[in-house]
Amino acid sequence: MFRFRFGFLVLLALLCGRMPGLAAGQPEPALRIGDVLTFNLPGEAVLNKDFQVDRSGSLELPEIGVVPVAGKSLPQAIGVVREALSRVYRNVERLTVTLKAHKLPVTVLGYVKKPGSLELSGDDNVQTAISEAGGLAPGAQLDKLQLRRGTRILEFDYKRYLDSGDVSILPRLEPLDVVFVPASPRIGNVQVEFDGKALAQVGDGAEDVSAVKVFGEVNTPASITYREGATIIDMIMRAGGVTRYAAVGQIRVINDGKPTLFNMTGYLDSGDKASLPPVQRGATIFVPRLQEDVTGSTDASWLRLPPTRAVQVLGSVNKPGRFEWSSEMSLFDLLAQAGGPGTQADIAHIQILNHVDDKTQTATFNMSEFLSRGGSMSSIPKIGAGSVVVVPELAHSQGDNKAQWVRQPAEQSIYVLGQVGVPGRYAFNDSLRFLDVVAAANGPTNSADLRNVRVSHRRGKGTQVSKVDLARYFEIGDDKLLPKVRPGDVIFIPDRNRDWTDTGNEANVRVLGAVAKPGRYRFSDNMTILDLLAEAGGPTRDAYQEKILVVNMGGSSAQARAFNLTEFARTGNLEKVPTVRAGDTVYIPDAGQSDWSRLTKTLGEVLPAAAILAVMHAL
């Protein structure tokens, strides 16, 4: 009795709306594949759990096997289940079954990032399914998605749903549905990694038949999906707008093989929509190139500009090329037309090649001097049709690329050799001076002998060498000490530590004998013998300082004089300091050459002989 009452109550509860979706007056929904049912049979642990309706529409129950329930209402399903269980189990009237959840097994295939089978919630839609499949892959064709249900294929416009948010556009998902995302025909038949942005730029037209093609002088020629009501302006804007070369008054629209001319300038001026040509499915829009711009270019083509009207500007200008010549133009006009001289241009040596009859004549123009000092306009070279103007380029760093500066003409160069930072050949003109060139060569090095700079003047038939005391110039600052140099000259700055045989005797004094550093020392008339001895390291310990000798090498004769350094140090008498000049010799004897030393030595040799003589005398 109790058992009957309990079973009745369960059945009543099931019928009175404890299941999801059940309400008074509504038909009981049928169970679907994927639904999850919760079983409870007291005393039977194997049945107290959840069971899901499998893909065959059945429940797989322990010891019973499959029980088909799909398509049945929940009460009907409970009846079928209870009947099946009663064959094995007892008290099956106490079994309670509730609908726990709706599940939606679907499959998403095609151009999604993770295609495969999914289990969605019962109320999920296509967008959720695509999202669960990793989202759309680049290249997916959005307006041609398919829903495959059994043998039926339903095509729907997913893009339209994304544009509008209208959920009714999306088909309702059923269990075992297959959502297929096709690839756009634009990605071709070869699988490659491609840039989705680039693909979008060439248009979104899925079908060649209905897409509108826009090409010519537009920024992004594209095949664009036809849209009802879209105008030619819309299409051109979708193609990135027209370029600056577009002939906007001569745009062609071809509908069904019939071309129509569209004057966009006229439309933009008037705003008259009636002037807009219709754009039909599969239309072609062509924006031609402005012909005037091509032929009227500032860079006149070879054909348009014959040699009889052209002049050529070559070399270091910003825009070298052929230019149309007019008789009222000057050389300056022409250089301005060529963009002006470049930063490395040698405007002091502009070369002009003129045609005279069947011969050519060359001329050089120093524009640098003309600009700085002015001059007669007649001094500017005349240029006619067929002339060639060459603006040479100054050499770059001497150390970087010698091959380049070798191209520089020798007659426009000056040579700086020896102890300078960057020896080499330097461009030179009349506006430059000696120090400009030395400075251009990065100046003298630390070991440079500034007092013996030599300049070889090579102009004329013979050569002349002048000596420059650059150190003296830096002491005095008189520009008169600097030589005038001209192109072709050679400046040589010797090494201070060069072999002494390279230096002349006229500027040196020889210091010999008992000094720390005997040798040749440069001597100036503002120096004295004391300076020389100091520079030679001073007399040695065994020097005979009382008789230092000076030999004056005069122009007519020589004379020797003695100097008592010891006495000078004791008395400071300047009158007994001998004269020394460049070219003289100073000799410091050692103590062995003193009078006393020589006397004792002689006596040492004589006394034995004297002793013998004395003995002989005694005998």
Judged by CB under 8 A, which of 547, 585, 590, 591 binds other proteins? 547
The answer to whether residue 577 forms part of the interface with other proteins (CB under 8 A) is yes
Which structure tokens are listed for 232?
A: 């030619």
Binding part of the chain for other proteins, among 53-61, 391-399, 405-413, 557-565 by CB under 8 A, reads 557-565
The answer to whether residue 508 forms part of the interface with other proteins (CB under 8 A) is no
Q: Taking Cα atoms as reference points, which of 294, 298, 295, 301 lies closest to residue 244?
A: 294
Of 51 and 563, the one with the shorter C-beta distance to other proteins is 563
Of 266 and 592, the one with the shorter C-beta distance to other proteins is 592
Torsion of CA 145, 150, 151, 155, to 10 degrees: -20
Minimum distance from residue 515 beta carbon to other proteins (Å): 17
Of 211 and 515, the one with the shorter C-beta distance to other proteins is 515
Q: How many residues bind other proteins (CB under 8 A)?
A: 49
The answer to whether residue 554 forms part of the interface with other proteins (CB under 8 A) is yes
Task: For 302-338, give the DSSP string.
Answer: TTTS-GGGEEEEEESBSS-EEEE--TT--HHHHHHHT
The answer to whether residue 16 forms part of the interface with other proteins (CB under 8 A) is no
Minimum distance from residue 308 beta carbon to other proteins (Å): 56
Of 93 and 546, the one with the shorter C-beta distance to other proteins is 546
Going by their DSSP bridges, the two strands 508-513 and 585-588 should be labelled as parallel
Which structure tokens are listed for 362?
A: 């060359």
Minimum distance from residue 584 beta carbon to other proteins (Å): 10
CB of 514 closer than 8 Å to CB of 540 = yes
- Binding flags for other proteins, 461-490, as an x/- string (CB under 8 A): -----------xx-xxxx-xx---------
Minimum distance from residue 554 beta carbon to other proteins (Å): 5
- Alpha helices (H) in 407-513, listed in sequence order: 434-440, 470-476
Distance between CA atoms of 279 and 370, rounded to whole angstroms? 65
CB of 132 closer than 8 Å to CB of 161 = no
Minimum distance from residue 535 beta carbon to other proteins (Å): 15
Distance between CA atoms of 349 and 391, rounded to whole angstroms? 7
Which structure tokens are listed for 344?
A: 């490395």
The answer to whether residue 580 forms part of the interface with other proteins (CB under 8 A) is yes
DSSP 150: T
The answer to whether residue 555 forms part of the interface with other proteins (CB under 8 A) is yes
Distance spanning both ends of the chain, measured CA to CA: 187
Distance between CA atoms of 366 and 346, rounded to whole angstroms? 9
- CA dihedral (479, 480, 483, 484) positive or negative: positive
The answer to whether residue 598 forms part of the interface with other proteins (CB under 8 A) is yes
Of 539 and 578, the one with the shorter C-beta distance to other proteins is 578
Task: For 437-450, give the DSSP string.
Answer: HHHHTT-B-TTB-G
Of 373 and 617, the one with the shorter C-beta distance to other proteins is 617
Judged by CB under 8 A, which of 66, 166, 576, 592 binds other proteins? 576
The answer to whether residue 330 forms part of the interface with other proteins (CB under 8 A) is no
Going by their DSSP bridges, the two strands 212-216 and 284-287 should be labelled as parallel
CB of 94 closer than 8 Å to CB of 167 = no
Contacts of 123 (CB under 8 A, 6+ apart): 102
Binding part of the chain for other proteins, among 157-165, 260-268, 494-502, 575-583 by CB under 8 A, reads 575-583
Binding part of the chain for other proteins, among 73-81, 410-418, 535-543, 545-553 by CB under 8 A, reads 545-553
Of 117 and 593, the one with the shorter C-beta distance to other proteins is 593
The answer to whether residue 578 forms part of the interface with other proteins (CB under 8 A) is yes
CB of 125 closer than 8 Å to CB of 106 = no
Within 522-541, which residues bind other proteins (CB under 8 A)?
Answer: 524-526, 528-529
Of 57 and 578, the one with the shorter C-beta distance to other proteins is 578
Binding site for other proteins (CB under 8 A): 472-473, 475-478, 480-481, 524-526, 528-529, 547, 549-550, 552, 554-557, 559-564, 574-581, 593, 595, 598-599, 601-603, 606-607, 610, 613-614, 616-617
